[in-house]
């Protein structure tokens, strides 16, 4: 039987790479984009399905590069609503230490469903909580990814520096270096897919300088190089963290990163706010990626990532919603809009355009995850895309469709395709009972707070 061909026909607007006219639409075959048609062009061969996109703006599927799915259980929790990072963390750690497998499964479903409905097709999660009984946390997340049909880069996070050793997290949330590395290897061998079209990948992700030992940083870098997987951590999020590194290691954050063997193109960092000019230059020269998390950085009042300076130095920049205890939405369109506004405060209105921030949310994010098969609408790329309507009240009277998506605040995709399959249809996830999921997730969230 011939492959199924789908024509996404004559979109209202389409976000294609510069110089490519996509007004005639896209042809999908075998999970890939095989043709991008200019205005007035038709597919080179007959299609089995035609999706009229005259009312839709078509984007590459958005890519989220930093999250903590489990934190959807502690959104808008009163004791930390008005706290900066360190006190926020110290108050939340004991709550998070009570996480159980069923609650993580529900939290992952909620976070991923929310991302998917916002037009996100690939998500990375940073899970670093493995208290007793949670040894299979990543395995649980793999099942949820399969159920939703999304792509995911699940990072095997870790914490090994407890309060007793001068770290920030309580002792019951940290693991031995041996246990961390053994499980990391198990997960890579079991789940990590390679090459174009991969659905599930694994990366290694010690949590932060103040929650892991120097040894686990070094060993994770060694293991990642040996197994050829990516490295991820939080870095330069707050000035408290910078002071912690000076006190404990006698080094600034980027010096520490370099010392433990992480300053290279395999690494992407969440936040990346507090860098000096020399550090920006070194990160760029190394090709180390930065995940900008504007809402989290505003909520915790951490600072503003120097995105354009990092890019000019050579560092790829992408976007992340960050965990739901510091955002508290898992909506990547909403995040993209916030990136535009926050970055305009730093770089001005003329340099931070809707196209710029959409580029971060798509091809920039793809670069952070080490992928060249997603993030752009052109022939040969995976068929991952999101389609938005502009007939809601919020868009009424708008003119430029791409600008309207960002400036009027699009937040829910109408159709989403991943690897050639429709995963959101008419604004809903087929076969998912959202009311039931919300009821169960809310119950789990109440139980966790105790
Ligand atoms: Zn984070």
Residue 307 Cα to ligand 1 midpoint, Å, equals 17
**Which of left, alpha, beta for 197 (phi over 0: left; psi -120 to 50: alpha)?**
left
- The proportion of the chain whose per-residue pLDDT surpasses 90, expressed as a percent, equals 98
Residue 431 Cα to ligand 1 midpoint, Å, equals 30
Residue 66 Cα to ligand 1 midpoint, Å, equals 6
- The proportion of the chain whose per-residue pLDDT surpasses 70, expressed as a percent, equals 99
**What is the per-residue pLDDT across 386-438, written as a single tens digit (0 to 9) for each?**
999 999 999 999 999 999 999 999 999 999 999 999 999 999 999 999 999 99
Domain match, 55 and 71 both:
no
**Average confidence score pLDDT of the chain:** 97
Region 181-198 average pLDDT? 98
In a domain, 448, yes or no: no
Q: d(Cα 367, Cα 352) in Å, to the nearest integer?
A: 20
What is the b/e burial string over 281-292, where b = at least 16 CB atoms within 10 angstroms of the residue's CB? bbbbebbbbbbb
Residue 67 Cα to ligand 1 midpoint, Å, equals 6
Cis peptide before 328 (omega within 30 of 0): yes
* Rounded (to 5) percent helix, strand, coil in the chain: 40, 20, 40
Residue 72 has pLDDT above 70, yes or no: yes
Q: d(Cα 360, Cα 332) in Å, to the nearest integer?
A: 11
In a domain, 186, yes or no: yes
Residue 323 Cα to ligand 1 midpoint, Å, equals 6
In a domain, 319, yes or no: yes
Residue 311 Cα to ligand 1 midpoint, Å, equals 21
- CA-wise closest residue to 315 among 361, 347, 279, 355: 279
Residue 417 Cα to ligand 1 midpoint, Å, equals 27
Question: What is the SS3 assignment for 187?
Answer: helix
Domain match, 150 and 294 both:
yes
In a domain, 245, yes or no: yes
Residue 118 Cα to ligand 1 midpoint, Å, equals 20
Q: Residue 392: CB partners within 8 Å, gap ≥ 6? A: none
Q: Report whether 327 contacts 296 (CB < 8 A).
A: yes
> Across the chain, which distance is largest between two alpha carbons, in Å?
68
Residue 39 Cα to ligand 1 midpoint, Å, equals 42
Residue 236 Cα to ligand 1 midpoint, Å, equals 12
Residue 235 Cα to ligand 1 midpoint, Å, equals 10
Model confidence at 115, pLDDT cuts 50, 70, 90, reads: very high
**What is the per-residue pLDDT across 3-42, written as a single tens digit (0 to 9) for each?**
799 999 999 999 999 999 999 999 999 999 999 999 999 9
Residue 328 Cα to ligand 1 midpoint, Å, equals 12
Domain match, 15 and 71 both:
no
Residue 275 Cα to ligand 1 midpoint, Å, equals 18
Model confidence at 450, pLDDT cuts 50, 70, 90, reads: confident
Domain encompassing residue 207: 64-368
Q: What's the half-sphere exposure (Cβ side, CA atoms, 13 Å) at 347?
A: 20
Q: What is the pLDDT of residue 341?
A: 98
Total count of domains within the chain: 2
Domain match, 167 and 85 both:
yes
Q: Report whether 325 contacts 80 (CB < 8 A).
A: yes
CATH code for the domain in which residue 89 is found: 3.20.20.140
pTM reported for the whole predicted model: 0.98
Q: What is the pLDDT of residue 180?
A: 97
Which residues are in the CB-under-5-Å shell of ion ligand 1? 322
Residue 237 Cα to ligand 1 midpoint, Å, equals 9
Domain match, 175 and 285 both:
yes
Residue 292 Cα to ligand 1 midpoint, Å, equals 11
Domain match, 154 and 289 both:
yes
What is the b/e burial string over 45-60, where b = at least 16 CB atoms within 10 angstroms of the residue's CB? eebeeebebeebbbbb
Residue 28 Cα to ligand 1 midpoint, Å, equals 35
In a domain, 441, yes or no: no
Residue 234 Cα to ligand 1 midpoint, Å, equals 6
Residue 399 Cα to ligand 1 midpoint, Å, equals 36
Residue 2 has pLDDT above 70, yes or no: no
Residue 385 Cα to ligand 1 midpoint, Å, equals 26
Residue 169 Cα to ligand 1 midpoint, Å, equals 14
* The 231-235 sheet, strands edge to edge: 62-64, 120-127, 151-158, 200-206, 231-235, 267-271, 289-292, 317-319
Model confidence at 1, pLDDT cuts 50, 70, 90, reads: low
Domain match, 269 and 410 both:
no
Residue 271 Cα to ligand 1 midpoint, Å, equals 8
CATH code for the domain in which residue 51 is found: 2.30.40.10
Domain match, 252 and 360 both:
yes
Model confidence at 317, pLDDT cuts 50, 70, 90, reads: very high
Domain match, 229 and 252 both:
yes
Domain match, 265 and 174 both:
yes
Domain match, 47 and 190 both:
no
Both tokens assigned to 22: 């996509």
In a domain, 446, yes or no: no
In a domain, 438, yes or no: no
Residue 332 Cα to ligand 1 midpoint, Å, equals 15
In a domain, 137, yes or no: yes
Question: What is the SS3 assignment for 36?
Answer: strand
Both tokens assigned to 105: 């499964």
Residue 24 Cα to ligand 1 midpoint, Å, equals 40
- Between the CA of residue 79 and those of 95, 131, 163, 310, 449, what are the distances in Å? 12, 23, 21, 35, 11
Domain match, 308 and 387 both:
no
Residue 233 Cα to ligand 1 midpoint, Å, equals 8
């Amino acid at each position: 039987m011939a492959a199924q061909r789908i024509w996404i026909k004559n979109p209202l607007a389409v976000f294609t790479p510069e110089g490519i006219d996509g007004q005639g639409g896209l042809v999908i075959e075998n999970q890939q984009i095989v043709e991008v048609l200019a205005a007035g062009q038709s597919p080179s061969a007959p299609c089995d399905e035609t999706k009229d996109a005259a009312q839709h703006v078509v984007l590459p599927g958005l890519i989220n590069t930093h999250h903590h799915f489990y934190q959807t259980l502690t959104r808008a929790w009163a004791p930390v609503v008005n706290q900066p990072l360190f006190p926020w963390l110290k108050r939340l750690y004991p709550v998070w230490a009570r996480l159980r497998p069923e609650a993580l499964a529900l939290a992952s479903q909620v976070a991923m469903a929310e991302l998917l409905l916002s037009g996100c097709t690939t998500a990375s999660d940073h899970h670093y909580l493995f208290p007793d009984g949670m040894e299979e946390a990543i395995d649980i997340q793999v099942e949820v990814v399969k159920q939703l049909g999304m792509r995911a880069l699940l990072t095997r996070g870790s914490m090994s520096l407890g309060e007793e050793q001068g770290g920030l997290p309580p002792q019951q949330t940290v693991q031995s270096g041996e246990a961390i590395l053994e499980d990391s290897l198990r997960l890579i061998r079991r789940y990590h897919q390679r090459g174009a079209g991969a659905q599930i990948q694994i990366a290694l992700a010690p949590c932060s300088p103040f929650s892991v030992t120097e040894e686990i940083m070094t060993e994770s870098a060694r293991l990642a190089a040996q197994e050829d997987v990516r490295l991820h951590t939080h870095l330069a999020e707050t000035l408290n963290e910078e002071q912690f590194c000076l006190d404990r290691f006698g080094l600034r954050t980027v010096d520490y990163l370099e010392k433990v063997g992480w300053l290279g193109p395999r690494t992407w960092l969440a936040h990346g706010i507090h860098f000096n000019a020399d550090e920006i230059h070194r990160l760029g020269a190394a090709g180390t990626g930065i995940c900008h998390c504007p809402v989290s950085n505003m909520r915790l009042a951490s600072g503003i990532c120097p995105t354009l300076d990092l890019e000019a130095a050579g560092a790829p920049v992408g976007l992340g919603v960050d965990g739901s205890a510091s955002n508290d939405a898992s909506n990547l369109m909403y995040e993209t809009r916030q990136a535009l506004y926050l970055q305009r405060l730093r770089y001005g209105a003329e340099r931070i355009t809707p196209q710029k921030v959409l580029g971060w949310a798509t091809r920039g994010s793809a670069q952070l995850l080490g992928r060249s098969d997603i993030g752009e609408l052109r022939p040969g790329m995976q068929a991952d895309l999101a389609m938005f309507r502009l007939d809601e009240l919020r868009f009424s009277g708008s003119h430029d469709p791409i600008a309207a998506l960002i400036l009027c605040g699009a937040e829910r995709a109408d159709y989403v395709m991943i690897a050639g399959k429709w995963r959101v249809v008419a604004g809903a996830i087929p076969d998912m009972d959202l009311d039931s999921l919300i009821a169960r997730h809310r119950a789990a969230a109440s139980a966790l707070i105790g």
